[in-house]
Amino acid sequence: DVKVTQSSRYLVKRTGEKVFLECVQDMDHENMFWYRQDPGLGLRLIYFSYDVKMKEKGDIPEGYSVSREKKERFSLILESASTNQTSMYLCASSVPGQGAFNQPQHFGDGTRLSIL
Partner 1 sequence: QQPVQSPQAVILREGEDAVINCSSSKALYSVHWYRQKHGEAPVFLMILLKGGEQKGHEKISASFNEKKQQSSLYLTASQLSYSGTYFCGTEHSGYALNFGKGTSLLVTP
Interface positions with partner 1 (CB under 8 A): 4, 31, 33, 35, 40-45, 48, 50, 56, 58-59, 90, 96-97, 99-102, 104-110
Q: Which of 89, 109, 108, 107 is nearest to 20 (CA)?
A: 89
Q: Which CB sits closer to partner 1, 20 or 107?
A: 107
d(CA 46, CA 56): 9
Least CB distance from residue 19 to partner 1, whole Å? 21
Q: Which CB sits closer to partner 1, 69 or 101?
A: 101
d(CA 8, CA 3): 15
Q: Which CB sits closer to partner 1, 9 or 70?
A: 9
Categorise residue 71: left if φ over 0, alpha if ψ from -120 to 50, beta otherwise: alpha
Least CB distance from residue 83 to partner 1, whole Å? 22
